[in-house]
């Protein structure tokens, strides 16, 4: 019986991306290395792991005048959202260097994505990797940037009328300055890109 030989991928150039969550303080950002060939549906997964989201809500990329995501025939007008699967980030961007990623249309988490550099191909690099970042991702369903600001005020002020309720809701242990690059990279290591 013949064994299947898996083709060896040639080294690929890399993109260094900076992803920043808009309209929140303290600033939440990540710097990621991803293959230049990354597709939008793969980048969605990378963003979810890198930022700390749980992939519990809808999302879309806004690139120029186009929207890419998972079209919903019950919600989206025909042709208003282009299917993201199989669309390469660099192809969608064209000559551009920036785009937006929106997660959770109810809370409206807007992420600014910028290609900072194109890096040469290396034999050892695989998948995606986080090389920098700061601060914790807001909790899911906190109410977007205004809700997050209110949440931070409540959990840091013991005299706030909702202090105890908010601490109980978030599990008594939310630290807005927490960021562990090793945990992020372990999660990213599970992705097949």
Share of the chain above pLDDT 70, in %: 92
In a domain, residue 117? The reply is yes
Task: Tell me phi and psi for residue 14, to 5 degrees.
Answer: -120, 150
pTM over 0.85: yes
How far CA 142 is from CA of 31, 87, 95, 104, 192, in Å, comes to 24, 31, 36, 11, 30
Model confidence at 1, pLDDT cuts 50, 70, 90, reads: low
Closest CA to 103 of 65, 47, 170: 47
Closest CA to 19 of 4, 34, 9: 34
CATH of the domain at 39: 3.10.290.30
Using the predicted structure, report yes or no on whether residue 25 has a pLDDT greater than 70: yes
What pLDDT digit, counting tens, does each position of 168-188 carry?
A: 999 868 999 999 999 999 999
What is the arithmetic mean of pLDDT over 10-22?
90
What pLDDT digit, counting tens, does each position of 125-158 carry?
A: 678 999 999 999 999 999 999 999 999 999 999 9
Report the alpha-carbon distance of residue 30 to residue 51 in Å, rounded: 7
pLDDT at 127: 86
In a domain, residue 155? The reply is no
Cβ proximity of 44 and 129 under 8 Å = no
What pLDDT digit, counting tens, does each position of 63-93 carry?
A: 999 999 998 877 777 778 999 999 999 999 9
Model confidence at 8, pLDDT cuts 50, 70, 90, reads: low
Q: What is the b/e burial string over 29-50, where b = at least 16 CB atoms within 10 angstroms of the residue's CB? A: bbbbbbbebbbbbbbbbbbbbb
Say how many domains are in the chain: 1
In a domain, residue 92? The reply is yes
Question: Domain range for residue 121?
Answer: 14-136+177-188
H-state helical runs in 81-126: 89-93
Closest CA to 138 of 185, 168, 101, 175: 175
């Amino acid at each position: 019986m013949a064994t299947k030989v898996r083709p060896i991928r040639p080294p690929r150039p890399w993109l260094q991306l900076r992803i920043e969550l808009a309209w929140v303080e303290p600033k939440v950002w990540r710097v990621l290395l991803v293959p230049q060939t990354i597709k939008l549906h793969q980048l969605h997964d990378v963003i979810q792991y890198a930022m700390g989201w749980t992939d519990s809500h809808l999302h879309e990329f806004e690139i120029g005048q186009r929207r890419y995501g998972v079209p919903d025939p019950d919600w989206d007008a025909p042709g208003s959202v282009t299917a993201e699967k199989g669309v390469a980030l660099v192809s969608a961007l064209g000559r551009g260097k920036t785009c937006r990623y929106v997660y959770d249309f109810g809370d409206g988490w807007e992420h600014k994505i910028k290609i900072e550099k194109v890096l040469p191909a290396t034999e050892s690099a695989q998948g995606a990797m986080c090389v920098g970042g700061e601060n914790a991702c807001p909790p899911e369903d906190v109410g977007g940037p205004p809700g997050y600001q209110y949440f931070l005020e409540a959990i840091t002020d013991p005299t706030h009328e909702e202090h105890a309720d908010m601490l109980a809701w978030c599990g008594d242990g939310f630290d807005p300055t927490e960021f562990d690059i090793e945990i992020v990279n372990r999660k990213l290591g599970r992705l097949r890109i």
